[in-house]
Amino acid sequence: MTLKFPNFATIVAGLGGAGGIAGLVCLFIGTTPSSTIGQAVLGAVSTGLLWITSHHAHKIVVARAVGTAAPKTV
């Protein structure tokens, strides 16, 4: 039996992007997304997603420049 998981972009989009993920985090910590803490959470989630995207893109560019196969995304 094999399990096939959707890629990361599909999961993030299904959660509603950075705003949706921040809303879930705010729900768990008991604050509203419009509060100061909620805005900090949104900033942290956005930064994290930007870092992940940049890191992944860098790996693909390096792999193509070297001439190897691009790393498989999970």
Tens digits of residue pLDDT in 45-67: 999 988 988 887 878 787 777 77
Direct distance between the N- and C-terminal alpha carbons of the chain, in angstroms, rounded to an integer: 18
Task: Work out how many domains the chain is built from and give that number.
Answer: 1
Q: Domain for residue 18, yes or no?
A: yes
Its pTM stands at: 0.69
Tell me the residue range of the domain where 27 lies. Answer: 9-66
Q: Domain for residue 1, yes or no?
A: no
Q: Domain for residue 22, yes or no?
A: yes
In the predicted structure, residue 36 carries a pLDDT above the cut 70: yes
| Gap between the Cα atoms of 57 and 39, Å rounded | 27
